[in-house]
Amino acid sequence: MIIPGEFEYVSPSSISEASREIIERDAVVFAGGTDLVPMFKEKLVTPKVVVNLKKIPGMDGISFDKAYMSIGALTTLASLATHPSILEKCPSIGKAAKSIASPQIRNVGTVGGNLCQNLRCPYFRQDFPCHKRGGKKCFAVGGDNYLHSIFGAKRCFAVNPSDLATILVAYDSKVILESKEGVREIFLEDFYLGPGEFDIEKGEILKEVVVSSENMDNTLDAFLKFRIRQSIDFALVNVGVVLKIQNGLVEKASVVLGAVAGTPYRAVESEKALTGNELTKELIEEAAHKAVEKAKPLSKNEYKVDVARILIKRALEEIMERTL
Ligand SMILES: Cc1cc2nc3c(=O)[nH]c(=O)nc-3n(C[C@H](O)[C@H](O)[C@H](O)COP(=O)(O)OP(=O)(O)OC[C@H]3O[C@@H](n4cnc5c(N)ncnc54)[C@H](O)[C@@H]3O)c2cc1C
Ligand code: SF4
């Protein structure tokens, strides 16, 4: 791959070494480069040092033990999309991975890179001097905002573009962050602080994603994505649902929308409506409505409110059919 720009390219063999490069030389972390290389071209990122993670052992691959599943941050999206145990135990994680970009990008793009990818707001990408680029306004407000947030925002209305984030948050996944100072484990949901903002300290690297067996055993999941082009396209809205159903009743419900807010959006009111109840057509309608009650669309993205409601309804119907 030709990487545009002038910088030093280093390939450390440990997280600790990579961490030192980030702290001491302000290096930028490079995994598959499918998001970063376009940003180098667009001069959105102009590093002096680039740290290639791919020579660090132990950051790649999917493994299972009794307590949890681990997905290394360097696992490619293609491996995730086709891994037999993923397809058996949590098929919607594989489905979400398969829905991303093209086979070429999935062969190179990694799980860590997908979760940490930058914003896709066209104003941001095209060098408009908005809040996110040190300016004083958001061009999406009063501008072309059909891609943007429907759940309000303070300054930036860009959405989280990651399909994987939606379904992995629905699985209550955790991320392991490691630096030369030590290791930290937090919920993926808490990793997202706002549009393009992550709870990652300088020097930390996302090492792996873990999903507890408890969240996979006896659960049914669904992932649906609405986009304009069916081949390669980011979601306009997506949804990840994970339900634990025992004795005909929903014991635990996780309903998460993506591409509708600056972070994955947990539909708490839907989850409350579903929990403790039998999954019926009426309950599904109610849960889908409750998910979007607090939506505050902008001038050109009201369609997302309907799409979000319909996707939740369809995802829950898919799950209900599997229980019959
Ligand atoms: C044409 C196209 C279509 C796409 N369509 C979709 C789509 O439909 N859905 C979707 O979800 N995504 C989509 N993407 C985004 C794509 O999934 C990401 O570009 C890819 O997953 C990034 O992975 P990477 O390994 O190439 O990351 P890189 O480009 O190497 O890095 C991306 C960012 O993550 C940081 N980073 C990478 N790894 C780590 C780590 N382990 N720890 C800390 N920081 C890290 C980098 O510093 C950088 O800021 C698309 C991209 C393209 C180019
Ligand atoms: S939505 Fe965010 S990234 Fe886009 S123009 Fe507004 S402030 Fe900039």
Atom of ligand 1 nearest to the CA of 37: 29
Residue 209 sits in the same domain as residue 264: no
Q: Which helix (H) or strand (E) holds 54?
A: none
pLDDT for the residue numbered 42: 85
CA 157 / ligand 1 centre spacing (Å): 20
Residue 106 sits in the same domain as residue 67: yes
Q: Could you tell me if residue 125 is inside a domain? A: no
CA 26 / ligand 2 centre spacing (Å): 25
Residue nearest ligand 2's atom 6 by CA: 138
Residue 283 sits in the same domain as residue 233: yes
Q: Which stretches of the chain are DSSP H helices? A: 15-25, 36-41, 77-82, 84-89, 91-98, 103-108, 111-115, 122-125, 163-170, 188-191, 213-216, 268-274, 281-291, 303-323
Residue 188 sits in the same domain as residue 111: yes
Q: Could you tell me if residue 123 is inside a domain? A: no
Residue 192 sits in the same domain as residue 268: no
Residue 99 sits in the same domain as residue 177: yes
Q: What are the Cα distances from residue 93, in Å, to 29, 78, 119, 235, 295?
A: 25, 12, 22, 15, 26
pLDDT at residue 231 is higher than 80? no
Residue 206 sits in the same domain as residue 110: yes
Q: Measure the CA–CA gap between 86 and 232, rounded to whole angstroms.
A: 23
Range of the domain at 278: 218-323
Strand 249-258 relative to strand 8-10, pairing: unpaired
Residue 182 sits in the same domain as residue 302: no
In short, whether 149's Cβ falls inside 6 Å of ligand 1 is no
* Per-residue tokens: 33: 């480069």
Q: Mean pLDDT in the chain?
A: 96
Average pLDDT of span 16-37 = 97
pLDDT for the residue numbered 5: 67
Mutate to test the pocket of ligand 1, among 117, 124, 191 (most ligand atoms within 8 A of CB): 117
Residue 206 sits in the same domain as residue 228: no
In short, whether 205's Cβ falls inside 6 Å of ligand 1 is yes
Q: How many CA atoms within 13 Å lie on the side-chain side of 225?
A: 26
Can you give the CATH number for the domain in which 97 is found?
3.30.465.10
Atom of ligand 1 nearest to the CA of 39: 29
pLDDT for the residue numbered 3: 64
Residue 209 sits in the same domain as residue 280: no
Beta bridge partners of 161: none
Q: Number of folded domains in the chain?
A: 2
Can you give the CATH number for the domain in which 314 is found?
3.30.390.50
pLDDT for the residue numbered 127: 87
Q: Measure the CA–CA gap between 66 and 203, rounded to whole angstroms.
A: 31
Per the CB < 8 A criterion, the answer to whether 262 and 153 are in contact is yes
Residue 196 sits in the same domain as residue 251: no
